[in-house]
Structure 1
């Protein structure tokens, strides 16, 4: 992943933010939409593109565009920086290799504890039954 190349490929749109704010909110476009086309990116290898498509399939459009929005602050510039930060976090976490789980067996002590608990529960249930008549 080459950040400098990816930064040049990012597309930004400034949109009017929703919510309260009156005249100021209605005339200033502070919300930022960040668009990143994974398919056409030169900053990603083919393997990275495949991994991102697999990991982010629910966040991508049909064309393979990742769309992020930020309207946290009242400044367009800060929202742009926040959107870029979120993009880096998403890309890094998606490209991180998943550690394979090591198969383990329960210890002898754990097995004995489980069996002992089962015996106690069985005895408790057995004692709940009414006694059998002696004919």
Structure 2
């Protein structure tokens, strides 16, 4: 069991891990050993996620989420499988924690009189500058 928040607990069986070859530096070791981890989590069908968290997770995940609702996280920062595995799980937990926080409600605000006045004055100044660039009209 992976404890994400006090209310969200993910069962180990919901996570699939596959070890792949890492890209980047590492010499001959990179070509021989599969140390990178590709973690797959079926967010669309997970009973651990409430609906509102699931919807926010879909938005937060971006291209890491497939059309079927499977979240794919790759970790290849470290040179060992176990550390990359832990890193991928931490990334998953952090993403779900972010999705678990409800967005702050947005309150409508009115611009202050002073800010409205400043805005209009700056627009007036900009117009004056542009007007002064015109060639004078010859009255003949």
The TM-score range, normalised by the shorter chain, is 0.7 to 0.9
CA offset at residue 54 of structure 1? 4.8
Report if the CA contact (8 A) 1:6-1:42 is conserved. no
Q: Which residue of 1 aligns with 2:136?
A: 130
Counterparts of 1:110 and 1:92 in 2: how far apart (Å)?
38
Unaligned runs of 5+ in 1: none
Q: Which residue of 2 aligns with 1:2?
A: 8
Residue 102 of structure 2 corresponds to residue 97 of structure 1: yes
Larger radius of gyration: 1
Secondary structure (helix, strand or coil) at the match of 1:102 reads coil
Counterparts of 2:128 and 2:21 in 1: how far apart (Å)?
69
Counterpart of 2:87 (choices 79, 82, 87) is 82
Alignment RMSD: 2.6
Counterparts of 1:104 and 1:115 in 2: how far apart (Å)?
19
Secondary structure (helix, strand or coil) at the match of 2:116 reads helix
What is the number of residues matched between the two proteins? 133
Secondary structure (helix, strand or coil) at the match of 1:48 reads helix
Q: Which residue of 2 aligns with 1:117?
A: 122
Counterparts of 1:85 and 1:15 in 2: how far apart (Å)?
18
* TM-score w.r.t. length of structure 1: 0.77
Counterparts of 2:32 and 2:138 in 1: how far apart (Å)?
86
Unaligned runs of 5+ in 2: 1-6
Distance 1:10 1:126, change over 3 A: closer
Counterparts of 1:59 and 1:51 in 2: how far apart (Å)?
14
